[in-house]
Structure 1
Amino acid sequence: MSLINITNLTFAYEGSYDNIFDNVNLQLDTDWKLGLTGRNGRGKTTFLNLLLGKYEHGGRISANVGFDYFPFPVKDAGELTQDVVNDICLDYVEWELIRELSLLKVSEDVLDRPFGSLSEGERTKVLLAALFLKEDSFLLIDEPTNHLDIEARKIVGDYLRAKRGFILVSHDRSFLDRCVDHILSINKTNIEVQRGNFSSWWANKQMQDQFEMGENDKLRKDIKRLSEASQRTSHWSDEVEKTKNGTRNSGSKVDKGYVGHKAAKMMKRSKAIEHRQQAAVDEKSKLLKNIETSESLKLSQLSYHRSRLVELEGVSIRYGEKTVCSDVGFVIEKGDRIALTGRNGSGKSSLIKLICGEPIDYTGTVRAGSQLKVSYVSQDTSHLRGNLTEYARDHGIDESLFKAILRKLDFARVQFEKEMSAFSGGQKKKVLIARSLCEQVHMLVWDEPLNFIDVISRMQIEELLLEYEPTIVFVEHDREFCDHIATKTIRL
């Protein structure tokens, strides 16, 4: 066991007026399995990069271990997987690598294949196996579950549960519960560590929020009272100052020397009182801190004139010589919330595109209702460019509603003028979801909408779908989300 000591850590990006971290003090045990959580844009990846020494910062970070980051950057995906592993860990015993791959349910023959030919899940598992071969290394694991199917998440979660010494960024509640024993949370005003898994942390968080809400009501009353007292004191100071110039009783002469001396003493006293009152206001305002607001979202979906929207019968999809799915058949009816599940590569995204009317090479029958309007959220966010105002205009949606939804999803107003390409992964996905919620359509079709999106925003989206019960077909590997939302499950 060794410790990571973080003392007075302060950091802001160049050109920014606000610190992301301000005098943070933490002590972390390198035996802990830490889940790092916090809303999008709070600085989770930045925190990992600070541990890696990538940025200059105030304060001090000291540790007796080295840090390694997942995902490891692979410069040439055409390299054999064995060579990629050698780049990560130069000094390892081959049987140990085979053991790690076996624990992750990966065949050792992947080592003789180009890394780029591996599936997303295989790449994730190989990189984790290679990084855990390194001795005296504390792993910083940044969102390993993106694009992993539900079964792969279970395997990776069980693998990590048997390890020790890492910080894991993930927004998948089930995954965190499976493999962490401490939660490191980046809150509105601080960072704190709590023992337990995500569920225990969330239960404590809700109790703490309830307590703080009660305290905040008292504090707001105190702040109002102190502010009013400060204003009265300031007014009194002004009145005292006027006596020095004989303005209180116009036309009468006053002893300016005496009055000036008296006024100076009273002025000094009143300013001291005013300063103490303002300091009390500032101090109490700081206590209004870590409650996470998550206002309800709203959805207005067009009503379709028929109960049946889409029907697939005997559908098979091929890419060249490869069949990705075959003999698929199901019906989408008004009010259905259908989860498409299955292993990566089983054809889920291809079916999603087919339902949306994209040109896909298929056999079988697809019947879509006439004049059916669909809103599609893709996995890919790389196309996002420009600012939010331009994006709303280009997609013909109400800009005020669009930005109001983003505000509820924890977008700061300062983000509204920024270039979207500079947004975090989670912020980009929120842009796509907010746009989809603004569109006047009969059906939502979402392909892995929750990648990179923080836990609280996931819960908001769940509540929205449960309250308004729109027709939706979705692919999502967050088990909790699927269990809560789906009225039907189609397994490929």
Structure 2
Amino acid sequence: MSQILVNNLSFSYDTAYDMIFENVSFQIDTDWKLGFIGRNGKGKTTFLNLLMGKYEYRGSIRAGVNFDYFPFEIEDIERNTLDLIKDIIAPFKEWEKEMEECLLSNIDRYGQLLELYQQHDGYIIDELIQKELGKLKVDLDILTRPFNTLSFGERTKIMLAALFLKKNNFLLIDEPTNHLDMEGREILADYLQSKKGFILVSHDRAFLDKCIDHVLSINRTNIEVEKGNYSSWYHNKRLRDNYEIEKNKQLIKEISSLSEAARRAGSWSDKIEASKTGNHVFDRGYVGHQAAKMMKRAKAIERRKLNTLEEKKDLLKNIEETEALKMNIIPFHKKRLIELEDLSLFYENKKIASNINLTVKSGDRLAIRGKNGSGKTTLLKLLLGKDIKHRGRAYIASGLKISYVSQDTSWLEGSLKDFSFKYGVDETIFKTILRQLDFERDQFDKDIRYFSQGQKKKVLLAKSLAEPAHIFFWDEPLNFIDVFSRIQIEELLLAYKPTIAFIEHDKVFTKSVATKEIYL
């Protein structure tokens, strides 16, 4: 075990007025399973890139391990998957040149190196890879396939397994669950639970609870490290926040009382001092002493007030305040909105889902569940009126106004002003919702293409909340969305009770929000 030491770290992309980190110091152990939590756009991925040495910074980062980042680019995606894994895990790359030289001049040494290359931790390399992928419940047939034919979920598991097979490395795992269904997330959580030595960026609360033992949190004014999982961290945060809120209220009352006491003491001192003049005063020295005494008391009260104000300044700095969101729900004149009977869905000529029977009524909050590739997004597209090959009956009420949040955000670009105009939503309402979702005002002047992934998803959610609709279709709305905003959106849906059909692999969110579900 070694440590990663961060001392007085400061970093900014542009100017000193746009600091991402300023004089940040902390230390972590390299055998921890560290969950990295924080608001969207607050610097989580930036910090991982700083560890990887991608940017220049002030301060120091010292570590006795090598860092590997997930996800990473694979250049030759048409290559055989097994060969790609071997290239990634090989601690032997530095030996390859020596092996080439030995082949020409030293056959014995070449044989030794080849044996080391083939054997790793007591396993032949191929067996070791198969054993590791077995933990992730990966079909071993994919090892013989080109990498580009794998699903995104399979690619995630392949890349993580390869990285964990490397030696003396510390993994920086950035949002690994975005292409995994609920079952896949549980498998990956079990896998990570058996590992150590990583920082995991994730906003999935159940996933974090299962596989981390420490939390690294980016707060509004600092970075903190705490032992425990997400639930223990959030419980402690709520306790701290509630204490500071109550303490702040107490100090406000105390400051008010001290202000009044100082005012009275000063007033009394002035009155006593004024009473020294005139023939009726027999002992002006005594009266002057009393006036000075009252003035001294007034100054002491003022000092107490300043100290209390100083104490108050240190409170509420890291409170994550979330405003209640609103939805623009239009009542529909019919109770039944959607009805599906014996529906089958096809991708080209391949049947991907069958025997779908479903009725969606006003007020239903439908969770569409199923493994990756089971037809969830295809079903939503059919309900949106897209040209999807199908059999069976699909009834969608005439005149139904639908608000849609797509899974993909890669197409987003341009200004927020132009975006709101293009989709006919009120710009003021749209930007107000973004502010409520923790957007800083300076973000409003930037091109959307430069937003973080979580901020892009919030743009789509804000559009959906701003536009009037009878029913909402949300396809993985929480991808990349921070924990606080997830809770905020949960509370919104529970308060407004909209008619909504959604695809989401966050177990906590789905359990909290859904009134009914269908499994494809």
Aligned residue type for 2:56: E
Query: 399, 403, 418: which is aligned to 2:446?
Result: 418
Displacement of 1:314: 1.6
Aligned residue type for 1:55: Y
| Contact 2:415/2:448 (8 A) holds in 1 | yes
Which residue is 2:213 aligned to?
A: 181
Match of 1:375, SS state, is strand
| Contact 2:147/2:155 (8 A) holds in 1 | yes
| Contact 2:377/2:475 (8 A) holds in 1 | yes
Q: Provide TM-score, normalisation by structure 2.
A: 0.82
| Contact 1:338/1:488 (8 A) holds in 2 | yes
Aligned pairs (5 A) from 1:316-331? 316-331=344-359
Match of 2:159, SS state, is helix
Which residue is 1:373 aligned to?
A: 401
Displacement of 1:18: 2.2
Q: Given the alignment of the two structures, is residue 336 of structure 1 paired with residue 368 of structure 2, yes or no? A: no
- Which sits farther off after the overlay, 125-134 or 79-88? 79-88
Which residue is 1:304 aligned to?
A: 332
- Which sits farther off after the overlay, 366-375 or 88-97? 88-97
- Which sits farther off after the overlay, 426-435 or 211-220? 211-220
Which residue is 2:8 aligned to?
A: 8
Query: 164, 176, 201: which is aligned to 1:144?
Result: 176
- Which sits farther off after the overlay, 87-96 or 42-51? 87-96
Q: Distance in 2 between matches of 1:285 and 1:414?
A: 25
| Contact 2:176/2:202 (8 A) holds in 1 | yes
Count of matched residue positions in the alignment of Structure 1 and Structure 2? 448
Query: 123, 130, 139: which is aligned to 1:98?
Result: 130
Q: Distance in 2 between matches of 1:491 and 1:317?
A: 14
Match of 1:54, SS state, is coil
Deviant stretches of 4+, over 6 Å: 221-228, 277-283
| Contact 1:223/1:284 (8 A) holds in 2 | no
Aligned residue type for 1:118: L
Query: 475, 482, 488: which is aligned to 2:510?
Result: 482
1:393-423 deviations in whole A, cap 9, x for unaligned? 1111111111111111100111111110000
Displacement of 1:42: 0.8
Match of 1:453, SS state, is coil
Q: Distance in 2 between matches of 1:380 and 1:227?
A: 56
Match of 2:215, SS state, is strand
Which residue is 2:435 aligned to?
A: 407
| Contact 1:219/1:285 (8 A) holds in 2 | no
Displacement of 1:439: 1.1
Q: Distance in 1 between matches of 2:427 and 2:372?
A: 36
Displacement of 1:94: 2.2
Which residue is 1:86 aligned to?
A: 86
Aligned pairs (5 A) from 1:375-454? 375-454=403-482
| Contact 1:465/1:485 (8 A) holds in 2 | yes
Q: Given the alignment of the two structures, is residue 356 of structure 1 paired with residue 409 of structure 2, yes or no? A: no
Q: Distance in 2 between matches of 1:188 and 1:164?
A: 28
Q: Distance in 2 between matches of 1:357 and 1:16?
A: 50
Q: Distance in 2 between matches of 1:77 and 1:221?
A: 65
Identity %: 56
Match of 1:20, SS state, is strand
| Contact 2:192/2:211 (8 A) holds in 1 | yes
| Contact 1:52/1:67 (8 A) holds in 2 | yes
Which residue is 2:40 aligned to?
A: 40
Q: Distance in 2 between matches of 1:201 and 1:280?
A: 29
Q: Distance in 1 between matches of 2:248 and 2:40?
A: 25
Which residue is 1:58 aligned to?
A: 58
1:178-219 deviations in whole A, cap 9, x for unaligned? 100011100000000111110010011101110111233356
Distance 1:356 1:2, change over 3 A: same
| Contact 2:36/2:216 (8 A) holds in 1 | yes
Distance 1:428 1:226, change over 3 A: farther
Displacement of 1:285: 3.2
Displacement of 1:220: 5.7
Q: Given the alignment of the two structures, is residue 217 of structure 1 paired with residue 249 of structure 2, yes or no? A: yes
Distance 1:204 1:76, change over 3 A: same
Q: Given the alignment of the two structures, is residue 163 of structure 1 paired with residue 163 of structure 2, yes or no? A: no
Which residue is 1:231 aligned to?
A: none
Aligned residue type for 1:48: L
- Gaps in structure 2 of 5+ consecutive residues: 92-119, 261-301
Q: Distance in 2 between matches of 1:279 and 1:397?
A: 49
Which residue is 1:76 aligned to?
A: 76
Q: Distance in 1 between matches of 2:316 and 2:367?
A: 40
Which residue is 2:229 aligned to?
A: 197
| Contact 1:223/1:285 (8 A) holds in 2 | no
| Contact 2:251/2:308 (8 A) holds in 1 | no
Q: Distance in 2 between matches of 1:142 and 1:68?
A: 11
Q: Distance in 1 between matches of 2:344 and 2:41?
A: 41
Q: Provide TM-score, normalisation by structure 1.
A: 0.87
Query: 157, 182, 186: which is aligned to 1:154?
Result: 186
Q: Larger Cα Rg: Structure 1 or Structure 2?
A: 2
Displacement of 1:43: 0.5
Q: Distance in 1 between matches of 2:74 and 2:257?
A: 60
Which residue is 2:98 aligned to?
A: none
Match of 2:359, SS state, is strand
Which residue is 1:114 aligned to?
A: 146
Which residue is 2:28 aligned to?
A: 28
Q: Distance in 2 between matches of 1:227 and 1:369?
A: 65
Aligned residue type for 2:27: Q
Q: Given the alignment of the two structures, is residue 293 of structure 1 paired with residue 321 of structure 2, yes or no? A: yes
Aligned residue type for 1:147: H
Q: Distance in 2 between matches of 1:304 and 1:359?
A: 25
